[in-house]
Chain A
Amino acid sequence: MSGSEDETFLVARARTGDRDAFAELVRRYQRLVFAVSYRLLGDPDLAEDVAQETFIRAFLSLEQFRGTTMRAWLLRIAHNAALDQLRASARRRTVPLEHAGEHASFDVPEPGIEQAGLRAALEAALAALPVEQRAVVVLADVEGLPYEEIAQTLGLPLGTVKSRLARARMRLRTLLESDPRARELLGLSGRLPDREGESPERLIEGE
């Protein structure tokens, strides 16, 4: 049985009230839901609440699930729950890049100081984005979802997803360019070459 068929079978069983089937669905997507919630909110405690709220809402409205993937459906619930949480707290998470090292983060072993600094700069830049752009960047560039699934998750047209993603990336690049550590590690430069043949700056091999 393929993954999608297996998931279809789990969903059908969960709709009849099979708690084990729904628990299995939760296990499959809890990391993704929590990670997206954390990236949107920037707070692990709030992200835990939103993730729990997401699965409760999904459990109560499972009969309404149709016409999309389970992943997109759960992420849509998580996105809406995160927006509700943001409205309730009524605060905008903007962290100046000079305080990026103070940004709330998990204790994850880092391979090196440079990478730790780059990670902090990236998280700070993400937190500085408007929530609408942040959601698209998190889904596309952090979690690697395709455009069509992002459109289903956010309930937006495909063209809007692309334009919003492009503007978010432009803004991210501008924010990271102002951080010396990120600019050096990512090889960012806003200058046009003055003359032809000018040697380019060192670039990080991305592939």
Chain B
Amino acid sequence: MTDRRSHLDEERLALLASEEPDAEVSAHLAQCEFCRRRWQEYRAVRQALRSLPAPPLPRDFAAGFEDIEFLPRDPWWWRYRTALRAGTLLAATLLVVLLSTLLVRPLIPPREEPSAAPASSPADQVAVLAEPSMREPGAGGPFLPSPEALAGTPVVPSDTNAKLPPEPGSPAPLPAAGVAEAESSSPLPIASPLGWLALAVLALLVLAGFLLGFLLPAISRRR
């Protein structure tokens, strides 16, 4: 009986139907009748399959493509239109917020300074001066302010155009625009040229996004 363990693997013999055997396999096929026969059977089956006639064409498939109206192809960005539209809307929202910040912030009045000391009236200043702050030695009479003290007393000018410190409790006057910018609590988010450039780029991106994501598709649909 032929020892089956000495035969080539069945899958290998099947693959050899379309391959040239190497030297080792050729030597085995030369001396093993079973493997040689099986190899020839696989080659015969493959040869028979190769000789199968091709089925006749039912019609000319090319004729249909010569006659049909050419359909316009979608542009390359069409497959990304959903993400493009979402990004455009987000960018537009951000742009509106930033522009609103620029437009609205100058109209907001500056907050009052709570830590500033209330301005004293002229009557209070005279009362301060009237308090005895020190006595001259040997003097039994009432204390009289020295000429130096009087010289240091702030004199209320007779010039009516001079600005007087406001009475406590009186409403603070509206500041000028330039003053308000200096007194604002925090600087504008877009104050530098780089910020303005970024804002311009954002605006251009939003414009391009609306053009590609909304306007052009609408135009193509109307066609």
Contact = CB atoms under 8 A, between A and B. Distances in A.
Contact of A26 (B4, B15, B58, B62): B62
A207 B42 CA distance: 12
Interface stretch (B33-41, B90-98, B122-130, B163-171): B33-41
Interface string A155-177: 00000001101110110110010
Interface string B10-35: 11101101100000000000000110
Given A35-B54, A194-B1, A188 B10 contact: no
A22 B48 contact: no
Given A140-B18, A166-B11, A122 B57 contact: no
A132 interface: no
Contacts of B154: none
Contacts of B44: 186-188, 203-204, 206
Judged by DSSP, the binding face of A is: helix
Contacts of A44: 55, 58
Contacts of B4: 192
Contacts of A200: 33, 37
Contacts of A27: 60, 62
Interface residues of B, number: 42
Judged by DSSP, the binding face of B is: helix
Interface stretch (A5-13, A46-54, A92-100): A46-54
A178 interface: no
Contacts of B1: 192, 194
A55 B61 contact: yes
B73 A63 contact: yes
A170 B41 contact: no
Contacts of B49: 122, 126, 137, 141-142
B44 to A, nearest CB: 5
A85 interface: no
B2 interface: yes
B66 interface: yes
Contacts of B66: 19-20, 23
Contact of A173 (B33, B42, B57): B42
Given A44-B55, A203-B41, 15 more contacts: A17-B70, A19-B66, A24-B62, A26-B65, A44-B58, A59-B65, A122-B48, A141-B50, A169-B14, A170-B10, A172-B45, A187-B44, A192-B1, A206-B43, A206-B44
11 contacts: A23-B62, A26-B61, A63-B73, A126-B49, A141-B18, A144-B50, A169-B42, A185-B48, A186-B48, A189-B37, A204-B44
Interface of B: 1-2, 4, 10-12, 14-15, 17-18, 33-34, 37, 40-50, 52-66, 68, 70, 73
